[in-house]
Each structure stands twice: as structure tokens, then as C-alpha cells.
């Protein structure tokens, strides 16, 4: 069976997401809620819920793979509770105020934004 070719938007999204991990794991070396090293950047507001916050460092939470899996695979709410305890409700309110930024971008505008984001992340490497 033939695989469907990925769209330009999907290819750019995958590239930008990979670069977020590559660039920000070393920039945020300490897990926010444990004494271990960061292994993954978690998005407090899920990537699928906000195109803007998907690439906004304010939404990036440095975690270990174990904590990330505990949150996503077992649905353990303690991880988000611990994050909120450290970051605070003012931070959460600020995040929420940006949830709908870039929501109304066209496909072409999203592609252009992704190209800008990728260029910026490449410079940060």
C-alpha cells in the first residue's frame, strides 16, 4: 500500500518540533520538578491546542522521560500540579492569554511562520 506524501506544513511542523527539543533540552538542563537532568521539553498547553504556544518558550517545561511518560501515559495529574506549584498561577494565566494567538492563520501563513521559527531555532543551535 502506498504511503501518503506528507504535506509541506506537516514536514515543517515535524522539523520545528524536533528543533525545539534539540535546542531547548540543553538550554534548560535541570528538570523543573526533580533533581535530575532534562531529557525532554514538555508543552504545558498541549501542542495541538495552540499553534503559537507550541513554539513559545514560556510553554516549555523541562522534564525527564519518566515524568513525561507518567503524565502522558498514565494520566497522572500530579505532574501538572507540581509544575503549577513551581511556576505559579500568574504564569498559567499568562499562558492562557496566548492560547488563541495565531489561531486564525491561513495554511500559507502557518508555513511562513514555521519557516521563520525554524530559521530562528537553527541560529540557536
Predicted TM-score of the model (pTM)? 0.93
Indicate the pLDDT class of residue 71, thresholds 50, 70 and 90. Answer: confident
Q: How far apart are CA 41 and CA 87, in angstroms?
A: 15
The rounded distance, in Å, linking the Cα atoms of 26 and 48 is 24
Determine the Cα–Cα distance for residues 43 and 78; give it in Å rounded to an integer: 15
Rounded mean pLDDT, 48-72: 95
pLDDT in tens, 6-54: 999 999 999 999 999 999 999 999 999 999 999 999 999 999 999 999 9
In whole angstroms, give the CA distance from residue 107 to residue 77. Answer: 34
Compute φ and ψ for 90, nearest 5 degrees: -65, -40
- What backbone torsions phi and psi does residue 61 show, to the nearest 5 degrees? -120, 120
Amino acid at each position: 500500500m502506498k504511503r501518503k506524501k506528507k504535506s509541506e506544513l506537516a514536514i515543517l511542523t515535524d522539523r520545528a518540533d524536533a528543533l525545539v527539543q534539540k535546542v531547548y533540552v540543553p538550554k534548560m538542563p535541570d528538570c523543573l520538578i526533580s533533581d535530575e537532568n532534562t531529557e525532554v521539553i514538555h508543552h504545558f498547553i498541549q501542542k495541538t491546542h495552540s499553534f503559537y504556544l507550541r513554539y513559545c518558550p514560556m510553554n516549555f517545561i523541562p522534564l525527564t522521560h519518566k515524568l513525561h511518560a507518567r503524565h502522558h501515559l498514565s494520566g497522572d495529574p500530579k505532574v501538572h500540579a507540581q509544575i503549577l506549584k513551581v511556576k505559579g498561577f500568574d504564569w498559567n494565566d499568562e499562558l492562557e492569554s496566548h492560547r488563541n494567538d495565531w489561531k486564525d492563520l491561513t495554511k500559507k501563513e502557518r508555513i511562513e511562520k514555521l519557516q521563520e521559527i525554524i530559521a530562528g531555532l537553527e541560529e540557536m543551535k
